[in-house]
Structures are given as C-alpha cells and as structure tokens.
Chains A and B, each alone.
Chain A
Amino acid sequence: MALFEKYMLMTRGFQNVVEDGKTVGFQIKIRITYYRGISLAVINGLEVTVDGKKYLPEQLRFSTGGHTFTLEEMGREEKVRWPFGEPATLTVLEPEGLKPGLHEVKLEEVIKPPYMPGRGFVAQFTRKMTLVA
C-alpha cells in the first residue's frame, strides 16, 4: 500500500548544512507516511540511502518543532509529536555533504501503532532531487 509515500520526500530543505564555516552534512525535509500525527516513539524506523550509500542510524538526526533528536532518543520521546502533513528535518552527518546536482534519495519510514501487525506501516520511496546549495 502507499500511504502518502509519493509525498514523503520534499525538495524544499534539501541542502547542505554548514557549521562554523564547515559543511558537516546535508538535510532533507520529510513528511509522515501515516494518516495521523504521532508521538516520536511510535516511529520504529527511519533509513536514508543517497546515491546507493545507506547511512547508519548514528549518522541521522530528526528535528521537529524546534527540537532535535538522535534515532535512539526518538524511541524514548513520548511527548514531542510529528504532526500530520508537517515537514520534519532529517539531517545526515556526512562530512562535506553532497555536491550540487542530481541525487537519488531513498527513504524508508516505519510507523508502528499498536493495532498493526508485523513491522507496522512500512513506506519506501525514491526521488531524484537536485541539491542547489
């Protein structure tokens, strides 16, 4: 099934991250592949692959509503929510980030509410996006 898969990767916010004059990674804005907003702990998986390179969980950061979390911290976060249809920012810590140009970005999101069997709602989508800056 496709629960908003085609909408989950956004172009706005696809950019490198610069800290103290150094490029420390890149960011993507993503939306939820579920029909409601949820507390972060209900997310059971986030995986990013860019141009065939699959990133490790430790290399990812998730930001929403002004807070930033590691994937591990998200698993314990029962108060902060990812609202339905709202972009969250996924930061990938990749020294020197990505070169401007076309990149193939693949995202997997797993949402596990208590009534769904197995892994829950598993969504995967690949989008070719141009990094401008």
Chain B
Amino acid sequence: MAQQEKTGLKRGVTLYSYQEEFYTRAMTLEDCLAEVASMGADGVELLPEQMVPDYPNPSQSWVDQWFNWLDKYHLKPVCLDTFVDNTWGGHRVMSLDESVETLVMQMKMCNRLGFKMMRPTTGHDAAPEMMLKAIPYAEKYEVKIAFELHTPVTLGSKFIDNYLGLIEKTGTRHFGFTLDLGLFCTRVPRIVSDYHLRHGASEEVVRYAIEAFANRADAQTVDAEVKKMSTKEIDHMMAMFAYRYGPATNDPRDLPYIIPHIFNIHGKFYEMTEEMREYSVPYETILPILMEHGCAAYINSEYEGQRWTQNVYDTDSCEILRRHHLMLKQLLGEN
C-alpha cells in the first residue's frame, strides 16, 4: 500500500494509551500497533520503560521485530517518551553530567529504534540546565528534543519564555515542544470529580471546586477555601487534583507564539462521549487554530482516564481511542 505524503496535522497514538491492556497481558505490543493502524492513523509514540523488554538494551532480534511490525502496519515511529529520574526517588540527586549521560543513552535508543524525536520528562527545576547541556548531543545524534508543555504550565508564563530563550540563544533546530492538550481543559474532567465523590468527598466541596475551576479561580485560592470548608482529606485531594488539569486560563487563541516550536502534540483525553467529543478539552477550538498557523505535527492520542475509572468499571482503551480518532478525522477534514 503506497503511503500518501501527508501535510499539516497528522494522526498517531501514544501506546501509553493502552497501558492497562498491556499490563494485564490482554494486549501485546503488536496488538497495540494493529489497533493504531486499524483507525487509519500512522504515527506511533512509545514509552520504552513501559513496552520495550530489557530496557535500556533490548535484543537485536526484538529490534528487528519492531521494524518488521512498523513495516507490516505501515506506521512511523514519531516520538520516544523517556524519563530522567534525577532525584532517584528522594534518595540521591544526579549530577548534571549524569543526567545528560542518561539523555544521551536515550538518544542512542532513539537511533536504534528509528525515532527522530524524544520527549524527556524530569524534575522541573533541573530541566533547563539539563536541556541546555543536552542540545549539542541532540544535534550530534540527530534527535529532536520535544520538551513537554504539560498541565499546570500556563501560556505566556516565564516557564515557557525560558525555553524560548534557550532556543534563541543556542540557535538550535533540535529543541522544541510537545504540546499536551490537557493544558486547555475548560472544566474538571467529570471522571475526576466522580472518583472523589465515590470515595467520600462532600458534594458541596466538589461542586465548589468544579465551579471555581471553570470560573478560572487560581489553585491557591481554591485550596485555601476548601481547607476552610472541610477537614476531610478526600476533599483536600479534590481541590488539589482539580488543578492537575488546565488551568482554564489557558486559551488556545494564545497559542500562535509557540506554534513554530511545536514538534509533537499529545492529544490528551480523559472521557469521550458517544457524540465523539472530549468532555473537558475543546478540540473543536484548538485544532483549527493549530491548522490555521501551519502546524504539521502528529497529534498522538493520549488516553489518561483509566486511573480514575479503573476501580469502578472495566477499561476499554481500544474503543475510547476509536472515538478520539473519529473526532480527529472529522476535525482535520479527512475524508
């Protein structure tokens, strides 16, 4: 089957979305790849610490098999998601050199598995120095670092400006962003508030937290208010978790200044309705803005609802991903 050269936004899946089925052995890695292809998507994002055996050194026969699968299912390796555990669980802090060595090891893994892009996740404070030092290696190994902009980062913040400054200062073409669309939650995912209610959160507190979030109150205000309203731990957790989404002050219309630097997109979602819409993330607003400004990245669907629903109903990642991809197809104007 000949592959059409696609321009503009393209559809993929981060296999992170199938984490539960992979964990329970309901699905193999090949099954995940087959699911992606069956939706007419062709991009794959992978967490090697999740699905690659003998990390960080899979056997050559496994690597050969990986390329056979990509060929068989007509898929492109888009981004490798890696982690630098620089705080070693609170036991010891890595030196800057150790951190960069870890990133270099991961870039070599990218080369080995056919990925030209990497998304490294590490501690917030250590990241700027680490990324600066890693850039010459990214250029050497020809791996673009797609640093993730993930909730609760805000558009227009100094956090992002620092990284834009890094790009300008180094002049590199090997540093950019993975934009996580969970940044644009306009409301708290329903599955999050439902979880807290099931675990004894008071209706009054949940209602307040949901309204405050949608009304763009800041996290500290909500936290303080909830502590006045209730002494229950589960209520405090509701207040905290509400702000691991969005915040609602993030406006897709403020995206243009970073669009030239978006290498990759995590199509984050938590709940897809039967009307093929994400309950909290306004894809119908975000995608047109990205398209209008010529963004040509892969949108890799990232399902992350399982953790809030696992203990009340069976997860069906495959079905919910199909809803996400039908929505993407429609919004991207694919026929």
Contacts and interface: CB of A to CB of B under 8 A. Distances in A.
Contacts of B91: 41, 44, 75-76
A37 B55 contact: yes
B249 interface: no
A112 B312 CA distance: 25
Contacts, number: 85
A83 B84 contact: no
Contacts of A55: none
Interface string A109-124: 0011111000010000
B293 interface: no
A3 B307 contact: yes
A4 B86 contact: no
Interface string A1-15: 111111100000000
A41 B24 CA distance: 24
A35 B90 contact: no
A115 B121 contact: yes
Nearest to B92: A41
Interface string B1-24: 000000000000000100110111
B92 to A, nearest CB: 7
Contact of B311 (A6, A39, A75): A6
Nearest to B19: A35
A38 interface: yes
Interface stretch (B122-130, B174-182, B253-261): B122-130
Given A5-B310, A35-B19, A115-B121, A75 B47 contact: no
Interface in B42-70: 47, 49-51, 53, 55
Contacts of A41: 85, 88-89, 91-92
20 contacts: A2-B308, A2-B310, A3-B310, A4-B20, A5-B310, A36-B83, A37-B49, A37-B55, A42-B88, A75-B89, A84-B22, A84-B49, A111-B89, A112-B87, A112-B89, A113-B85, A114-B123, A115-B121, A115-B123, A115-B124
